[in-house]
Amino acid sequence: EALARHAAALEAARAAGVGRVLYTSHQGASPTSPFPPMPDHAATEKLLAASGIAYTSLRNGFYASTTLQLLGDALNSGKLYAPEDGPVSWTTHADLAEAAAVILAAGESGEAPFDGPTPALTGPEALDLA
């Protein structure tokens, strides 16, 4: 289970004296989300908040690279199964890496580090499949 692994990693960080944890979460982290990873992300953020260790939770948007999975299945079957009216701000790994670097560097450069969950880190435009 993901939450048990996250709890074990957090305990190991505490035992090692880690000063800050950077966690890659998701913009939709919520205990009531029907999308399976989101309750786990929300529960992990709750563990982080209760840990006493400084943390930053990067609330990443949907990865643009996952569109290849959607399109690959569609190319093979001739049918695309996705909501046409569900806009998504697809986000590249490169953009998210840059955001993470800026957030991490803030603490090292004397600026106040970003504590807790970030705002949603997404692409500039929400697109749908219509």
**The 3-state secondary structure of the chain, one letter per residue:** CHHHHHHHHHHHHHHHCCCEEEEEEECCCCCCCCCCHHHHHHHHHHHHHHHCCEEEEEEECCEHHHHHHHHHHHHHHCCCCCCCCCCECCECHHHHHHHHHHHHHHHHCCCCCCCEECCCECCCCCECCC
The CATH code for residues 2-117 is 3.40.50.720
Task: Give the start-to-end residue ranges of the domains of the chain.
Answer: 2-117
Residues making up the chain, counted from first to last: 130
Query: Which is higher by pLDDT, 125 or 12?
Result: 12
Q: What is the mean pLDDT of residues 68-80?
A: 83
Q: Could you tell me the pTM of the whole model?
A: 0.83
pLDDT of residue 114: 86
What's the rounded mean pLDDT across residues 84-93? 86
Average predicted confidence (pLDDT) for the chain: 89
> Mean of the pLDDT values across residues 93-122?
88
pLDDT at position 83 over 90: no
In this prediction, residue 69 carries a pLDDT of 79
Determine the Cα–Cα distance for residues 60 and 45; give it in Å rounded to an integer: 13
Q: Residue 8: its pLDDT value, please? A: 97
